[in-house]
Chain A
């Protein structure tokens, strides 16, 4: 079956068996995979930190709640201060990496600046 153009409508569209579906074109495949890889690698880093907090609290409470400076324990510090900074830093790094990646894509594919294409998206 021939691939169809995406139109924003509820009207039923033909379906195709996933096994017979054509591969994505090379450029889109590259965009999707690099976008996903960036997000996934940052998520893995972020979630190692996030999951380590309850793991430490429940399986190493002596480490977690030993006072480090004043009354601030490792767990209080990670949960109430580092986690808040981390949430922002991960999102900020993602945006910066994305912008850098965009420049790379633009250099590789001249059609990136195509105004007509942009119009259809906005």
Chain B
């Protein structure tokens, strides 16, 4: 028993879980819905900036981006580059005004801006769609890690992670979630920094390894033992070094940039975080802080993917590492590099980092979705006036319900691709909430009908392009279809609003509120 507990992967994971329980216990007091949904709006830019980065850098980014760079080369780096744009746009156009509004949920913005219960219900549907598509791959990632490193079944992994999340978010609310997210961000960033230091110490200099990889052509030694046909893997470095492996032409690259960049503006769990700052100034500073952390993280992820490829091409790593790199898929690249560079201790740290990424991201999704159910639906459409305690209780029940729902989704997507599902969430966000938030904050001419049309058309277009695009000509089939769905979302809002022309009579007052000079005080 003691031997198992001292195994680094168990040790680090137990320490992480223990810390989560402790922080959650300390922040269990949530007297009212402001405490539960927006943490009492007390978090300064450092804590909230860390939490935003923690929310944004999910398992798909912690494990996936380095894995993509490892397997598809430059296009993996380009994928990462596209992810890095969105938070900056959010800081420029949305963060400050959103905080000045001072609402509780993403759907609040839509409902208050247009004074529309219909718009609120549709916004809730979109929130649940985005959160579901985002949560399912996180659970898939968690269950896969548990299965790979702890030998548990896939179903156990889903149930375990869901139970941890129900406790974590249900007891801690936004306060506990924010503190845990901030801590978890530094755990996974710490894991990356230690890995990078070990790689540089091991002589993996960026330019040198890129040169070696780009000039490599032929078979990779010591890989035949792990392939199905028993032959060493053939690799062409020149192809890996250039674009084209993932995006077949310029328009695919552009579509990826549009979909992933604007997708961030439509992610409910990220938008929600800006409500937790005490004022708009802190919201903007939080955004800058999170962008700094995310940019560093993305840069390190690409470098580690290149290091992984260099280690693989050398063919001198242990058979466990070579086997994982051949058969483990993209998500095994970071754990494999950790084992190659620092042995079991670094692997243990990285596994804790991966769990931190999953917990952090999932908790944000749970909070955003529980707000959508308890605050936007139950509290708003309940016939009786609810007390603060009843609102908090409703949110806790919503979290249990979401745990069951996400758990079922997690089991259903067992065979799905994590990257594909995350791209779907980004596409829906970019085509629905991004137009509503950008135009709603900056254009007085947007009407209720325009907003509803934008949400509905954006959602339908995204679903069609992801699930049924095979019926379209090949030139219109995009892996990240932002180039088609985002203009549909924006144009639907603009055209229907222009045709309708009936704006809320308080729109000037709304503009004064969200663009006030409050920060100048």
- Residues on A close to B: CB < 8 A? 1-19, 21-22, 24-25, 28, 31-32, 35-36, 39, 42-43, 46, 50-51, 53-55, 57-59, 61, 64-65, 67, 69-73, 75-76, 79-81, 83-85, 87-88, 90-92, 94-95, 98-99, 102-103, 105-106, 109, 112-115, 117-118, 121-122
Contacts and interface: CB of A to CB of B under 8 A. Distances in A.
B80 interface: yes
Interface in B114-134: 115-117, 120
21 contacts: A11-B115, A15-B447, A16-B503, A16-B504, A17-B502, A19-B501, A21-B503, A22-B508, A46-B85, A55-B250, A64-B243, A67-B211, A71-B210, A71-B215, A76-B74, A76-B77, A84-B296, A95-B284, A109-B517, A117-B521, A121-B518
A26 to B, nearest CB: 12
Nearest to A114: B521
A18 B279 contact: no
Contacts, number: 244
Contacts of A65: 241-242
A98 B284 contact: yes
A43 B89 contact: yes
A92 B288 contact: yes
B516 A121 contact: yes
Interface stretch (B142-150, B297-305, B470-478): B297-305
Nearest to A55: B250
B365 interface: no
A117 B279 CA distance: 13
A22 B281 CA distance: 29
Given A50-B85, A54-B250, A121-B100, A28 B505 contact: no
B515 interface: yes
B380 A10 contact: yes
B115 A10 contact: yes
* The 9 A-B residue pairs with the shortest CB-CB distance in the complex, in nearest-first order: A70-B207, A71-B211, A71-B210, A6-B509, A84-B295, A54-B253, A58-B250, A15-B502, A13-B115
B103 interface: yes
Interface string B34-65: 00000001000000000000000000000000
A88 to B, nearest CB: 5
Nearest to A13: B115
Contact of B92 (A19, A39, A99, A117): A39
Contacts of A51: 254, 257
A80 B242 contact: no
A42 B373 CA distance: 37
Interface string B57-100: 00000000000000000100110110011011101110010001
Contacts of A105: 517, 520
Interface string B178-208: 0000000000000000000000000001111
Given A70-B207, A70-B208, 9 more contacts: A24-B511, A39-B92, A70-B211, A84-B84, A84-B296, A91-B87, A91-B88, A118-B518, A121-B100
Best-buried of B88, B278, B445 by chain A (most CB within 10 Å): B88
B502 A16 contact: yes
A6 B442 CA distance: 16
Nearest to A107: B520
A53 B78 CA distance: 9
A114 B213 CA distance: 62
B445 to A, nearest CB: 5
A80 B302 contact: yes
B33 to A, nearest CB: 14
B287 interface: yes
A43 to B, nearest CB: 6
Nearest to B97: A35
A22 B278 CA distance: 32
B520 A102 contact: yes
Contact of B509 (A5, A14, A122): A5
B11 to A, nearest CB: 32
B112 A28 contact: no
B518 A117 contact: yes
A113 B516 CA distance: 12
A117 B85 CA distance: 34
A61 B242 contact: yes
Contact of A95 (B77, B80, B254, B288): B288
